Amino acid sequence: MIAAAQWLHATTGRIATCPHSWMTAVHWVDHLAKKGLYTPTQTHGPKWGPTTLAVAQEIAALKECRPGIDYLARKLNVSERTVQYHLGMLREAGLLVYRSKGTRISGVGGRASEFERVIPVQFDEALGIRTVGEGATRRPVGAAAESRSLLGKLAKKAARKVRRTPVSARSRCTPMQVGTSGTSTAAGTHYPSEAKLASGKKSSPTRKQPKRGPRTLNRVGRRYQLARELIAQVPWLRGAAVPRIAWIVRHVADEGWTVLEVQAAAERYVSDREPKRPSAVLAFRLSSCHLLYTTPDRRKVLVEDWQDSRRAEQARHSEADYSDLGDGPRSVAARRAMDEAFAAIRDRLAPAPEPVEESGPLGLEDLTRDEIVQMRLDAMADPSLIFISIELAGEQYTRRLYTNRLVDQTLALEAINARRNTLTPAF
């Protein structure tokens, strides 16, 4: 039976009415296998035999057909792989079908597969068994007269318990690979002579273990060690999975990079188009670094450059006094560019030439939400409106109308402009 037909909704067989009738069908398949009329398709592993019947017998004894692989292996004293082979042969013969397939659920553990004991349709056709109903729920109502003798023999086999020879008894043999003997092998032994007795000096029966040196990591261990060090040292990698980081840094770890060199390569060059996940960011930044920094000297220069940039950044953030801006650039071209920039700022902050009507300011209650939003957009485009509002209505009213942030930005630009005017030398 193909794998697609090994499910309850796809099987052509019928559900067994009782464990005894199912074991009758199992012994019928065993009868065909002994005559060479049925051979499993698998080319490796154990074949159909007494172990298959023992597995089927344990399954028939279950109230709910949900056998665990480890349970059957422990019960039959075989390996779990052997149980899987024989379950596969029972499914292929059409004697077992899936109700639900086992799976692994995170946080819960493994779930055993749930089977249904099924009698294949070939069994009914070969023995002339008549059934009523449709699908897998049909029931037998009679059998052909010529097949009743065989059914009786199969029923007697199904009623008997299959006894398997223990593994230890099957594999017990002498060192010469011959059969076991019923007599003791120690019958012909004799005592040693007194000349060969121990001298009486006490000696330890256990050998002293040689002292081992420090443990050396292989390539995979080095990758995991570097991944753990990176997660502990780099702040934006906290909480990342160690196996994922070990796979990302596999190239640099094999080249002998240190954790400081990897951090320098990952934080020295930052792109605007980077993924969001920290492990993906690390993979993006280290994509070709192992091909660029191939020698320890190059990596040393990389680390020094990165440390200098970090110290410069910390120095910029630690400065508290921003009032002393210096005399400006010394280059004539740079001074000209600076003058043009501040001239543009003065033009934007210059008051509008149109006369302003002398009238009292409107109350915020008289303005709609759309009008307030439009006035704020106009002030962002033309900051001179804020200075006019301060002169006419006062700073408190202006802050309520245009928000504190917009007013502070405009006043700060005006202060910088005034400062620059006092510091710019005349040409």
pLDDT on residue 13: 87
Nearest to 29 by CA among 73, 93, 101: 93
Q: Which residue has the higher pLDDT, 336 or 35?
A: 35
Nearest to 335 by CA among 247, 211, 218, 426: 426
What's the mean per-residue pLDDT of the chain?
A: 77
Portion of the chain with pLDDT greater than 90, in percent = 4
pLDDT on residue 247: 92
What is the C-alpha to C-alpha distance for residues 358 and 368, in angstroms, rounded to an integer? Answer: 22
Q: For residue 244, give every residue at least 6 positions away whose Cβ sits within 8 Å of its Cβ, in sequence order, or none.
A: 279
Portion of the chain with pLDDT greater than 70, in percent = 75
Provide φ and ψ at 109, rounded to 5°: 110, -175
Task: List, in sequence order, the alpha helices (H) in 203-258.
Answer: 219-233, 242-248, 250-254
pLDDT on residue 224: 92
pLDDT tens figures, 229-268: 989 988 888 888 899 999 998 998 998 899 888 888 888 7
Interval 178-206 mean pLDDT:
51
Q: For residue 223, give every residue at least 6 positions away whose Cβ sits within 8 Å of its Cβ, in sequence order, or none.
A: 246, 247, 249, 250, 253, 254
What is the C-alpha to C-alpha distance for residues 277 and 351, in angstroms, rounded to an integer? Answer: 49
Q: Which residue has the higher pLDDT, 337 or 12?
A: 12
Whose tokens are 């422990």? That residue is: 74
**pLDDT surpasses 50 at 358:** no
What is the C-alpha to C-alpha distance for residues 134 and 279, in angstroms, rounded to an integer? Answer: 56
**pLDDT surpasses 70 at 389:** yes
In DSSP notation, 281-301 reads: HHHHHTSSHHHH--SHHHHHH
pLDDT tens figures, 58-111: 888 887 787 888 888 998 899 989 988 998 899 888 888 888 887 766 666 667
